Amino acid sequence: MILYYNKAFLRLLFAGSGSVFYRRSSIVPGLLLSVLTLIFQAVHDSGAYRFEIPNNWSMGALGASVTFAVVFRTQNGWQRYWEAVAQLHFMYSKMSDCFCQFHAFSVNSIKAYEKKGDNASLEKAEHLWTHIHTVEHSFILLSAFAAHRLSHGDNQRMEQRSKLRVGWAEQVTTRAGLRAQPDLSGASKGPKFDVLADATASIEEARNDWDASFVGKHHLTNEEDQELTNARDRVNFSMYRILRLMSGVAGDLLTPPP
Protein backbone atom coordinates (compact mmCIF):
# COMPACT_ATOMS: atom_id res chain seq x y z
CA MET A 1 0.00 0.00 0.00
CA ILE A 2 1.37 3.41 -1.01
CA LEU A 3 1.25 6.06 1.70
CA TYR A 4 1.27 9.81 1.05
CA TYR A 5 -0.40 13.01 2.21
CA ASN A 6 -3.32 13.46 -0.16
CA LYS A 7 -3.80 17.18 0.56
CA ALA A 8 -0.37 18.25 -0.72
CA PHE A 9 -1.50 19.50 -4.15
CA LEU A 10 1.91 20.16 -5.72
CA ARG A 11 3.29 16.92 -4.36
CA LEU A 12 0.41 14.99 -5.97
CA LEU A 13 0.67 16.93 -9.21
CA PHE A 14 4.37 16.36 -9.80
CA ALA A 15 4.85 13.07 -7.99
CA GLY A 16 6.47 10.44 -10.16
CA SER A 17 6.76 7.60 -7.65
CA GLY A 18 3.47 5.78 -7.33
CA SER A 19 1.69 8.06 -9.82
CA VAL A 20 -0.82 6.62 -12.30
CA PHE A 21 -0.09 9.48 -14.75
CA TYR A 22 3.68 9.50 -15.15
CA ARG A 23 3.92 5.98 -16.47
CA ARG A 24 4.61 4.75 -19.99
CA SER A 25 1.34 2.82 -20.04
CA SER A 26 -0.53 6.05 -19.35
CA ILE A 27 1.51 8.71 -21.15
CA VAL A 28 1.89 6.91 -24.52
CA PRO A 29 -1.85 6.17 -25.06
CA GLY A 30 -2.68 9.67 -23.77
CA LEU A 31 -0.35 11.35 -26.25
CA LEU A 32 -1.65 9.14 -29.08
CA LEU A 33 -5.26 10.04 -28.29
CA SER A 34 -4.33 13.75 -28.12
CA VAL A 35 -2.69 13.62 -31.56
CA LEU A 36 -5.69 11.80 -33.09
CA THR A 37 -8.05 14.34 -31.54
CA LEU A 38 -6.09 17.25 -33.04
CA ILE A 39 -6.07 15.57 -36.48
CA PHE A 40 -9.83 14.93 -36.41
CA GLN A 41 -10.50 18.50 -35.26
CA ALA A 42 -8.28 19.94 -38.03
CA VAL A 43 -10.02 17.83 -40.68
CA HIS A 44 -13.41 18.88 -39.37
CA ASP A 45 -12.50 22.58 -39.35
CA SER A 46 -11.06 22.44 -42.87
CA GLY A 47 -14.39 21.30 -44.29
CA ALA A 48 -12.89 18.32 -46.06
CA TYR A 49 -14.98 16.00 -43.96
CA ARG A 50 -17.73 16.90 -41.54
CA PHE A 51 -19.57 14.60 -39.22
CA GLU A 52 -22.40 15.26 -36.82
CA ILE A 53 -23.01 13.57 -33.50
CA PRO A 54 -26.67 12.51 -33.58
CA ASN A 55 -27.13 12.62 -29.80
CA ASN A 56 -25.20 12.85 -26.57
CA TRP A 57 -26.03 9.35 -25.34
CA SER A 58 -22.40 8.29 -25.20
CA MET A 59 -21.37 11.26 -23.05
CA GLY A 60 -24.40 10.73 -20.84
CA ALA A 61 -23.45 7.09 -20.33
CA LEU A 62 -19.87 8.13 -19.52
CA GLY A 63 -21.11 10.74 -17.03
CA ALA A 64 -23.40 8.21 -15.36
CA SER A 65 -20.56 5.72 -15.02
CA VAL A 66 -18.21 8.29 -13.52
CA THR A 67 -20.93 9.53 -11.15
CA PHE A 68 -21.66 6.00 -9.98
CA ALA A 69 -17.96 5.33 -9.37
CA VAL A 70 -17.46 8.56 -7.41
CA VAL A 71 -20.59 8.10 -5.30
CA PHE A 72 -19.75 4.46 -4.58
CA ARG A 73 -16.21 5.37 -3.57
CA THR A 74 -17.44 8.17 -1.30
CA GLN A 75 -20.06 5.99 0.37
CA ASN A 76 -17.50 3.25 0.90
CA GLY A 77 -15.14 5.75 2.54
CA TRP A 78 -17.87 7.05 4.85
CA GLN A 79 -18.87 3.51 5.82
CA ARG A 80 -15.31 2.70 6.79
CA TYR A 81 -15.06 5.93 8.79
CA TRP A 82 -18.24 5.33 10.78
CA GLU A 83 -17.29 1.69 11.31
CA ALA A 84 -14.03 2.89 12.88
CA VAL A 85 -15.93 5.37 15.07
CA ALA A 86 -18.29 2.60 16.22
CA GLN A 87 -15.35 0.34 17.07
CA LEU A 88 -13.75 3.21 18.99
CA HIS A 89 -16.90 3.68 21.08
CA PHE A 90 -17.06 -0.09 21.56
CA MET A 91 -13.46 -0.15 22.80
CA TYR A 92 -13.97 2.60 25.37
CA SER A 93 -17.28 1.06 26.47
CA LYS A 94 -15.57 -2.27 27.20
CA MET A 95 -12.72 -0.52 29.01
CA SER A 96 -15.22 1.38 31.16
CA ASP A 97 -17.22 -1.78 31.93
CA CYS A 98 -14.05 -3.65 32.89
CA PHE A 99 -12.83 -0.99 35.33
CA CYS A 100 -16.29 -0.40 36.83
CA GLN A 101 -16.70 -4.10 37.58
CA PHE A 102 -13.23 -4.35 39.10
CA HIS A 103 -13.80 -1.21 41.18
CA ALA A 104 -17.22 -2.33 42.42
CA PHE A 105 -16.11 -5.80 43.51
CA SER A 106 -12.92 -4.43 45.04
CA VAL A 107 -14.71 -1.76 47.07
CA ASN A 108 -17.26 -4.33 48.24
CA SER A 109 -14.43 -6.58 49.46
CA ILE A 110 -12.65 -3.63 51.10
CA LYS A 111 -15.74 -2.74 53.12
CA ALA A 112 -16.12 -6.36 54.22
CA TYR A 113 -12.47 -6.48 55.32
CA GLU A 114 -12.80 -3.21 57.21
CA LYS A 115 -15.80 -4.57 59.10
CA LYS A 116 -13.71 -7.52 60.31
CA GLY A 117 -11.14 -5.11 61.72
CA ASP A 118 -8.26 -7.55 62.27
CA ASN A 119 -4.78 -6.77 61.01
CA ALA A 120 -4.82 -9.34 58.20
CA SER A 121 -8.14 -7.99 56.87
CA LEU A 122 -6.95 -4.38 57.06
CA GLU A 123 -3.78 -5.30 55.17
CA LYS A 124 -5.87 -6.91 52.43
CA ALA A 125 -8.09 -3.81 52.30
CA GLU A 126 -5.03 -1.58 51.91
CA HIS A 127 -3.67 -3.93 49.26
CA LEU A 128 -6.91 -3.69 47.31
CA TRP A 129 -6.93 0.12 47.51
CA THR A 130 -3.40 0.21 46.13
CA HIS A 131 -4.39 -2.07 43.27
CA ILE A 132 -7.46 0.03 42.48
CA HIS A 133 -5.27 3.12 41.98
CA THR A 134 -2.70 1.13 40.01
CA VAL A 135 -5.34 -0.38 37.71
CA GLU A 136 -6.94 3.05 37.23
CA HIS A 137 -3.56 4.45 36.24
CA SER A 138 -3.03 1.52 33.87
CA PHE A 139 -6.39 2.15 32.19
CA ILE A 140 -5.41 5.80 31.74
CA LEU A 141 -2.20 4.64 30.05
CA LEU A 142 -4.13 2.21 27.86
CA SER A 143 -6.53 4.95 26.77
CA ALA A 144 -3.67 7.36 26.09
CA PHE A 145 -1.67 4.86 24.04
CA ALA A 146 -4.75 3.84 22.04
CA ALA A 147 -5.61 7.50 21.32
CA HIS A 148 -1.98 8.25 20.46
CA ARG A 149 -1.86 5.30 18.06
CA LEU A 150 -5.02 6.50 16.31
CA SER A 151 -3.89 10.14 16.10
CA HIS A 152 -0.35 9.20 15.00
CA GLY A 153 -1.21 6.53 12.45
CA ASP A 154 0.42 5.96 9.08
CA ASN A 155 -1.56 8.64 7.24
CA GLN A 156 -0.97 11.17 10.01
CA ARG A 157 2.75 10.42 9.91
CA MET A 158 2.81 11.18 6.18
CA GLU A 159 0.92 14.43 6.84
CA GLN A 160 3.50 15.37 9.46
CA ARG A 161 6.30 14.64 6.99
CA SER A 162 4.68 17.06 4.56
CA LYS A 163 4.40 19.75 7.26
CA LEU A 164 8.04 19.26 8.23
CA ARG A 165 8.97 19.73 4.54
CA VAL A 166 11.13 16.65 4.28
CA GLY A 167 12.42 15.62 0.86
CA TRP A 168 9.84 14.82 -1.79
CA ALA A 169 11.18 11.30 -2.18
CA GLU A 170 10.42 10.71 1.51
CA GLN A 171 6.85 12.00 1.27
CA VAL A 172 5.64 8.87 -0.51
CA THR A 173 6.43 5.37 0.68
CA THR A 174 4.90 1.99 1.38
CA ARG A 175 3.72 0.67 4.72
CA ALA A 176 6.65 -1.73 4.87
CA GLY A 177 9.02 1.10 4.00
CA LEU A 178 7.53 3.30 6.70
CA ARG A 179 8.27 0.61 9.28
CA ALA A 180 11.84 0.13 8.05
CA GLN A 181 12.77 3.80 7.57
CA PRO A 182 13.84 6.13 10.39
CA ASP A 183 10.93 7.84 12.11
CA LEU A 184 10.99 11.35 10.62
CA SER A 185 7.75 12.48 12.29
CA GLY A 186 8.50 11.43 15.88
CA ALA A 187 5.37 9.29 16.15
CA SER A 188 7.20 6.29 17.60
CA LYS A 189 8.40 8.22 20.67
CA GLY A 190 5.08 7.68 22.41
CA PRO A 191 2.88 10.20 24.22
CA LYS A 192 3.94 12.55 26.98
CA PHE A 193 1.99 12.81 30.21
CA ASP A 194 1.08 15.75 32.42
CA VAL A 195 -0.42 15.57 35.87
CA LEU A 196 -4.03 16.78 35.94
CA ALA A 197 -3.13 19.76 38.13
CA ASP A 198 -0.31 20.82 35.76
CA ALA A 199 -2.27 20.53 32.50
CA THR A 200 -2.63 23.95 30.87
CA ALA A 201 -3.41 23.23 27.20
CA SER A 202 -7.03 23.38 26.08
CA ILE A 203 -8.72 20.54 24.26
CA GLU A 204 -8.54 22.44 20.95
CA GLU A 205 -4.83 23.14 21.40
CA ALA A 206 -4.14 19.51 22.26
CA ARG A 207 -6.11 18.35 19.24
CA ASN A 208 -4.01 20.44 16.86
CA ASP A 209 -0.67 19.77 18.54
CA TRP A 210 1.31 16.82 17.21
CA ASP A 211 3.27 16.55 20.48
CA ALA A 212 0.34 17.23 22.80
CA SER A 213 0.59 15.70 26.28
CA PHE A 214 -2.00 13.38 27.77
CA VAL A 215 -3.40 14.07 31.21
CA GLY A 216 -2.90 11.46 33.94
CA LYS A 217 -3.18 11.26 37.70
CA HIS A 218 0.60 11.23 38.14
CA HIS A 219 3.78 11.07 36.09
CA LEU A 220 5.25 7.81 34.87
CA THR A 221 7.75 6.16 37.16
CA ASN A 222 11.21 5.36 35.85
CA GLU A 223 10.32 1.66 35.75
CA GLU A 224 7.14 2.31 33.76
CA ASP A 225 8.96 4.62 31.38
CA GLN A 226 11.67 2.03 30.76
CA GLU A 227 9.18 -0.80 30.21
CA LEU A 228 7.08 1.25 27.80
CA THR A 229 10.16 2.44 25.92
CA ASN A 230 11.27 -1.16 25.35
CA ALA A 231 7.76 -2.37 24.44
CA ARG A 232 7.16 -2.87 20.71
CA ASP A 233 3.39 -2.49 21.12
CA ARG A 234 2.48 -0.18 23.99
CA VAL A 235 -1.27 -0.84 23.72
CA ASN A 236 -0.88 -4.61 24.07
CA PHE A 237 1.68 -4.12 26.81
CA SER A 238 -0.78 -1.96 28.77
CA MET A 239 -3.54 -4.55 28.32
CA TYR A 240 -1.22 -7.31 29.52
CA ARG A 241 -0.28 -5.19 32.54
CA ILE A 242 -3.94 -4.69 33.49
CA LEU A 243 -4.64 -8.42 33.23
CA ARG A 244 -1.58 -9.18 35.34
CA LEU A 245 -2.67 -6.71 38.04
CA MET A 246 -6.22 -8.05 38.14
CA SER A 247 -5.10 -11.67 38.32
CA GLY A 248 -2.68 -10.79 41.13
CA VAL A 249 -5.46 -9.36 43.30
CA ALA A 250 -8.18 -11.88 42.41
CA GLY A 251 -7.39 -13.98 45.51
CA ASP A 252 -8.22 -11.04 47.83
CA LEU A 253 -11.70 -10.45 46.38
CA LEU A 254 -14.40 -11.98 48.54
CA THR A 255 -16.85 -12.00 45.62
CA PRO A 256 -14.91 -12.46 42.37
CA PRO A 257 -16.46 -10.80 39.30
CA PRO A 258 -17.90 -13.06 36.62
Q: What is the pLDDT of residues 124-158, one digit of tens each?
A: 999 999 989 889 888 988 888 888 888 888 888 88
Neighbour tally for 216: CB within 10 Å:
19
Neighbour tally for 141: CB within 10 Å:
23
Cα–Cα distance list, 204 to 49, 101, 157, 158 (Å): 66, 32, 20, 22
pLDDT tens for 234-256 read 888 888 889 888 888 888 888 76
Beta-carbon contacts of 257 under 8 Å, excluding residues fewer than 6 positions away, are: 101, 102, 104, 105
Rounded to the nearest angstrom, the gap between the alpha carbon of residue 146 and the centroid of all alpha carbons in its chain is 8
Sign of torsion over alpha carbons 251, 255, 257, 258: positive
Q: Over the chain, what is the mean pLDDT?
A: 82
31 — pLDDT class (breaks 50, 70, 90): very high
Burial class of 244 by CB neighbour count within 10 A (0 to 12, 13 to 18, 19+): exposed
The HSE-up count of residue 245 (CA atoms within 13 Å, CB side) is: 24
Helices 119-151 & 57-116 angle (0-180, nearest 10):
170
pLDDT tens for 169-225 read 777 788 888 878 888 887 777 777 777 655 455 455 555 667 777 777 777 778 877
Burial class of 242 by CB neighbour count within 10 A (0 to 12, 13 to 18, 19+): buried
Cα–Cα distance list, 178 to 7, 8, 158, 175, 219 (Å): 19, 18, 9, 5, 31
pLDDT given for residue 207 in this prediction:
58
What secondary structure, in 3-state letters, does 148-179 show? HHHHCCHHHHHHHHHHCCCCHHHCEEEHHHHH
pLDDT given for residue 83 in this prediction:
92
The model carries a pTM of: 0.70
pLDDT given for residue 169 in this prediction:
74
Sign of torsion over alpha carbons 28, 30, 33, 37: negative
